């Protein structure tokens, strides 16, 4: 081959080789987006090679595929509707119905925040896949919470006051151990409202009774003083008359307004009868019937 032919061949092959090299390099550079983990699959089988967010070089020696998983925290909320999920990273479910250590039934709401352990990504992929993580957390956390609450040391009293914090810590430890077994790290656990059903109603009634008793004791002194004043007024009513009841005017107005048996309160015009309070109280009369004579205005004495 002549020198000219060799030069022409080189000139033609160089662009072709450059294009092939560019295609290979571009295909081998894989970008993992922020907030995600990449698991390298070769010939459909998962490898131990996990990728963090950013650009990575993955040689195309065999058929290679990268499956993305969330690297940020995810959450499962038991006791909320599906419509309350803020994003695909959050999932919701019904509250957990279980029995406490003292056999009291309860519906428990809780929240679990978790993330995938990068070193266990292959295990998560082979056992659950991207779509099965939420179901795993729902089942594993529910089983752990139910077992922890069924311990004889957990009773209704441990769900209130300072003991509630200890119960929440116990549940967090149980859920953490259950999820770490499957390659997930628990970053937070919150015990939500606990519905005790009829037992909760009894507890609320007991609490209300305590405060109602305290209210009655606080108002007892006022009622005693009012009764004593009423007794003294009964002795002086013949001389003092309406002036003696001025201090009760507010209470009388409140009692009249709260009545619902058809009583009407009106303001009496001057000259409509004895008394200086300017008030008249009467019951409703059927339509078309005249008012009692005591409530009718006096006849006019002015000349026509």
CA proximity to 273, closest of 288, 286, 291: 291
> Quick one: pLDDT at residue 271?
52
| Phi-psi domain of 174 (left: phi exceeds 0; alpha: psi -120 through 50; beta: other) | alpha
pLDDT tens sequence across 22-56: 676 666 667 777 777 777 777 767 777 777 777 76
Instruction: Please give the Cα distance from 226 to 211 (Å, whole number).
Output: 23
How many other C-beta atoms are found inside a 10 Å radius of the C-beta of residue 124?
23
**Domains of the chain and any CATH numbers:** 3-70 (no CATH), 74-196 (3.30.479.30)
Instruction: Please give the Cα distance from 102 to 157 (Å, whole number).
Output: 10
Mean pLDDT for the chain overall: 76
Query: Are 148 and 178 a contacting pair, CB within 8 Å?
Result: no
CA proximity to 126, closest of 224, 39, 238: 39
pLDDT tens sequence across 161-203: 889 999 999 999 999 999 999 999 999 999 999 998 888 788 7
> Quick one: pLDDT at residue 175?
95
* Residue 268, pLDDT above cutoff 50: yes
Query: Taking CA 31 as the corner, what is the angle to CA 26 and CA 34, rounded to the nearest 5 degrees?
Result: 165
């Amino acid at each position: 081959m002549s020198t000219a032919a060799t030069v022409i061949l080189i000139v033609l092959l160089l662009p072709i080789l450059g294009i092939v090299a560019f295609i290979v390099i571009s295909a081998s550079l894989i970008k993992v987006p922020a907030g995600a983990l990449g698991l390298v699959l070769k010939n459909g089988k998962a490898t131990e090679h996990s990728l963090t967010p950013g650009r990575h070089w993955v040689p195309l020696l065999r058929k290679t595929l990268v499956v993305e998983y969330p690297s940020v925290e995810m959450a499962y909320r038991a006791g909320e509707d599906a419509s309350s999920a803020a994003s695909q990273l959050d999932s919701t479910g019904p509250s957990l119905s279980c029995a406490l250590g003292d056999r009291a039934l309860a519906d428990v709401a809780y929240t679990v925040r978790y993330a995938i352990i990068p070193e266990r990504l292959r295990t998560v992929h082979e056992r659950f896949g991207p779509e099965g993580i939420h179901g795993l957390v729902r089942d594993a956390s529910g089983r752990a919470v139910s077992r922890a609450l069924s311990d004889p040391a957990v009773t209704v009293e441990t769900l209130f006051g300072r003991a509630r914090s200890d119960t929440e810590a116990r549940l967090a430890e149980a859920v953490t151990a259950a999820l770490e077994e499957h390659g997930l790290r628990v970053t937070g656990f919150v015990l939500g409202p606990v519905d005790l059903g009829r037992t909760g109603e009894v507890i609320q009634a007991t609490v209300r009774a305590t405060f109602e008793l305290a209210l009655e004791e606080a108002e007892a002194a006022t009622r005693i003083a009012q009764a004593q004043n009423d007794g003294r007024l009964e002795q002086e009513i013949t001389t003092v008359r309406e002036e003696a009841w001025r201090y009760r005017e507010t209470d009388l107005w409140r009692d009249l307004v709260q009545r619902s048996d058809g009583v009407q309160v009106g303001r009496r015009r001057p000259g409509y009868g004895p008394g200086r309070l300017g008030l008249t109280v009467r019951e409703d009369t059927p339509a078309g019937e005249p008012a009692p004579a005591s409530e009718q205005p006096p006849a006019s004495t002015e000349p026509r």
